[in-house]
């Protein structure tokens, strides 16, 4: 009897989950394959750089986003010296018919790389751009193709080019700067009223279970005392994803939504999320320099006619240089990308994609009730059965 009841329970729970019809099957490995090589203008890496760009453009279009290319000229330092190159931000817009204050949300990641050996093109920022693509795909699938959600508010996906802040001697402005200053601000009709904030996904693959793999400097302690304490309780392992937020109202709202959705499934995982909200009294120029090379800083330091007008933005990151890179699984030989891709790292990235996708679906869209007559019975019946089975179990084992 007990077996039967448990069997029935499992069966009907399964049916109810399927019937919920939210596609959350993350296929990040497929995307990562396209970002395992250096992507940089010059030094023999130019073809990969252009290929990555074309791939992103094609994917965005394929998901059903309206694709725009923002071109800009910037200066990068190559072996031949300073060079002016044309960068291209790929912007995919899912526009809504109307917006309201705080409605528009941006998700962005860099697709170019520098030419340094460590952390290399997969970690920085192949993982972030793959997560951006998967989030865009799952969001669009649910709001546009599956019919289970209706989109309410404009959601923008952007793949930034040329993060000169992470280049050697890079004097030019970055793709993030051009996006915020020469695209987004105009798009927002030169007002931050309708802007809800941005998620910047940069370096999200390095989960490190080695004790003392996380930076424990005095500066870090002063800036993130809570994170510092919880790290200390866990041998200062770099086993968390950091959510770095400026303490303004819109950013905090966006942060709470992401944190809630990231932790929603309550799965037991070998890593966690750390809320790294910056202290209120902190001056812009006192932020740990390791957290100012990502494109989030272009939102935080935005100015209108010389007046600071910080825009809400959240950096989702494994904290990059504040965490030791894992040892190469191939010793001193060059490692194929597959060797880096452990199950744990894959799960670490997937958790970020799921957290982002459910945040966007809940915040930017509405789950539609199944229309009566066709699919409604299919969904309500199993949950009814589940309830009955729960009641039965309660009787038997009380
Ligand atoms: C970048 O510079 C090139 C060469 O000077 C020029 O042809 C091109 O139009 C410029 N692009 C932009 C976006 O300004
Ligand atoms: C979102 O769209 C749905 C369906 O069109 C509508 O019923 C709902 O009121 C909208 N929600 C908001 C907050 O505008
Ligand atoms: C900017 O203004 C236009 C025209 O009034 C409006 O249609 C559009 O929704 C506004 N954009 C945003 C992001 O509010
Ligand atoms: C900024 O300067 C431009 C041109 O000088 C002007 O049109 C605009 O109104 C100014 N904006 C603000 C917010 O002062
Ligand atoms: C339900 O059936 C109606 C009429 O046949 C159809 O218009 C509607 O699209 C169906 N809805 C779903 C969710 O299948």
Quick: pLDDT tens for 115-147: 888 888 999 999 999 999 999 999 999 999 888
Q: Could you tell me the distance, in angstroms and rounded to a whole number, from the CA of residue 73 to the centre of ligand 1?
A: 6
**CB distance 151 to 65 below 8 Å:** no
Pocket flag, ligand 5, residue 375 (CB < 6 Å): yes
d(CA 92, CA 383): 38
**pLDDT for the residue 8:** 56
Identify the residue whose tokens are 């930034």: 160
The predicted model gives 363-373 an average pLDDT of 81
Q: What are residue 296's phi and psi, to 5 degrees? A: -55, -30
Q: Could you tell me the distance, in angstroms and rounded to a whole number, from the CA of residue 102 to the centre of ligand 3?
A: 13
Of ligand 1's listed atoms, the one at least distance from the Cα of 73 is 1
**pLDDT for the residue 18:** 43
- Residue of 41, 73, 162 to test ligand 1 pocket, by largest number of atoms within 8 Å of CB: 73
**pLDDT for the residue 14:** 47
**pLDDT for the residue 287:** 80
**pLDDT for the residue 266:** 77
**pLDDT for the residue 239:** 96
**pLDDT for the residue 77:** 86
Beta bridge partners of 315: 200, 244
**pLDDT for the residue 372:** 54
- Residue 235, CA distances (Å) to 177, 183, 216, 231 in order: 38, 44, 11, 6
Of ligand 5's listed atoms, the one at least distance from the Cα of 374 is 1
Pairing relationship of beta strands 155-160 and 104-110 according to DSSP bridges:
parallel
Q: Could you tell me the distance, in angstroms and rounded to a whole number, from the CA of residue 294 to the centre of ligand 3?
A: 28
Q: Could you tell me the distance, in angstroms and rounded to a whole number, from the CA of residue 304 to the centre of ligand 4?
A: 8
| Interacting residues of 49 by C-beta distance below 8 A, sequence separation 6+ | 39, 40, 41, 112
**pLDDT for the residue 47:** 95
Rg of the chain, C-alpha, whole Å: 22
**pLDDT for the residue 60:** 98
**pLDDT for the residue 370:** 72
**CB distance 67 to 60 below 8 Å:** yes
Banded pLDDT at 17 (limits 50, 70, 90): very low
Q: Is the pLDDT of residue 350 over 90?
A: yes
Say which residue, 6 or 218, is predicted with more confidence.
218
Banded pLDDT at 371 (limits 50, 70, 90): low
**What is the CB-side half-sphere exposure of residue 161 using CA atoms within 13 A?**
29
Banded pLDDT at 7 (limits 50, 70, 90): low
Say which residue, 12 or 65, is predicted with more confidence.
65
The predicted model gives 277-301 an average pLDDT of 85
The top-scoring range by mean pLDDT among 97-111, 286-300, 335-349 is: 97-111
- Residue 341, CA distances (Å) to 117, 119, 315, 347 in order: 17, 14, 23, 10
Listed range (260-269, 311-320, 384-393) with the worst mean pLDDT: 384-393
**pLDDT for the residue 376:** 45
| Interacting residues of 100 by C-beta distance below 8 A, sequence separation 6+ | 153, 194
Say which residue, 333 or 4, is predicted with more confidence.
333
Residue with CA closest to ligand 2 atom 5: 150
Residue of 57, 289, 237 lying closest to 157 (CA atoms)? 57
**pLDDT for the residue 336:** 81
Q: Is the pLDDT of residue 154 over 60?
A: yes
The predicted model gives 214-231 an average pLDDT of 93
Q: Is the pLDDT of residue 286 over 80?
A: no
Average pLDDT, the chain: 88
Listed range (99-103, 290-294, 309-313) with the worst mean pLDDT: 290-294
Listed range (76-80, 100-104, 197-201, 276-280) with the worst mean pLDDT: 76-80
**pLDDT for the residue 16:** 44
Say which residue, 292 or 87, is predicted with more confidence.
87
Banded pLDDT at 267 (limits 50, 70, 90): confident
Angle between helices 127-140 and 46-63 (to 10 degrees): 20
Angle between helices 2-20 and 376-397 (to 10 degrees): 150
> Per residue in 72-123, pLDDT tens?
999 998 878 889 999 999 999 999 988 999 999 999 999 999 988 888 899 9
d(CA 3, CA 7): 6
**pLDDT for the residue 3:** 58
Pocket flag, ligand 5, residue 372 (CB < 6 Å): no
Identify the residue whose tokens are 């009223």: 193
Of ligand 4's listed atoms, the one at least distance from the Cα of 190 is 13
d(CA 151, CA 140): 9
Say which residue, 205 or 280, is predicted with more confidence.
205
- Residue of 305, 308, 309 to test ligand 4 pocket, by largest number of atoms within 8 Å of CB: 305
């Amino acid at each position: 009897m007990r077996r039967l009841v448990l069997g029935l329970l499992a069966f009907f729970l399964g049916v109810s989950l399927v019937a919920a019809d939210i596609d959350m099957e993350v296929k990040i490995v497929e995307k990562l394959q396209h970002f395992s090589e250096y992507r940089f203008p010059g030094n023999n890496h130019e073809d990969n750089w252009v290929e990555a760009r074309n791939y992103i453009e094609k994917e965005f279009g394929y998901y059903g986003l309206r694709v725009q290319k923002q071109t800009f000229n910037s200066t990068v330092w190559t072996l031949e010296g300073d060079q002016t190159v044309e960068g291209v931000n790929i912007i995919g817009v899912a526009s809504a018919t109307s917006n309201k204050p705080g409605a528009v949300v941006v998700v962005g990641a860099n697709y170019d790389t520098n030419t340094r050996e460590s952390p290399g093109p997969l970690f920085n920022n192949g993982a972030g751009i793959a997560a951006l693509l998967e989030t865009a795909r799952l969001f669009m699938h649910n709001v546009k193709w599956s019919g289970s959600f209706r989109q309410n508010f404009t959601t923008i996906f952007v793949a930034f080019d040329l993060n000169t802040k992470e280049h050697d001697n890079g004097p030019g402005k970055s793709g993030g700067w051009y996006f915020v200053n020469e695209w987004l601000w105009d798009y927002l009709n030169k007002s931050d009223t309708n802007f809800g904030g941005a998620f910047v996904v940069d370096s999200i693959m390095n989960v490190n279970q080695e004790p003392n793999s996380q930076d424990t400097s005095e500066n870090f302690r002063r800036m993130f005392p809570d994170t510092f304490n919880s790290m200390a309780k866990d041998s200062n392992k770099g086993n968390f994803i950091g959510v770095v937020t400026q303490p303004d109202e819109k950013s905090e709202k966006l942060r709470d939504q992401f944190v809630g959705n990231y932790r929603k499934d309550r799965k037991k995982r070998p890593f966690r999320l750390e809320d790294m909200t910056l202290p209120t009294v902190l001056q812009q120029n006192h932020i740990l320099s390791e957290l100012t090379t990502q494109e989030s800083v272009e939102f935080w330091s935005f100015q209108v006619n010389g007046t600071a007008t910080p825009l809400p933005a959240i950096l989702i990151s494994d904290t990059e240089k504040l965490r030791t890179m894992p040892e190469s699984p191939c010793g001193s030989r060059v490692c194929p990308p597959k060797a880096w891709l452990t199950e744990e790292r894959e799960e670490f990235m997937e958790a970020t994609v799921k957290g982002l996708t459910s945040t966007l679906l809940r915040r930017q869209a509405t789950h539609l009730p199944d229309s009566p007559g066709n699919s409604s019975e299919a969904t309500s019946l199993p949950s009814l059965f589940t309830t009955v089975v729960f009641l039965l179990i309660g009787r038997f084992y009380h």
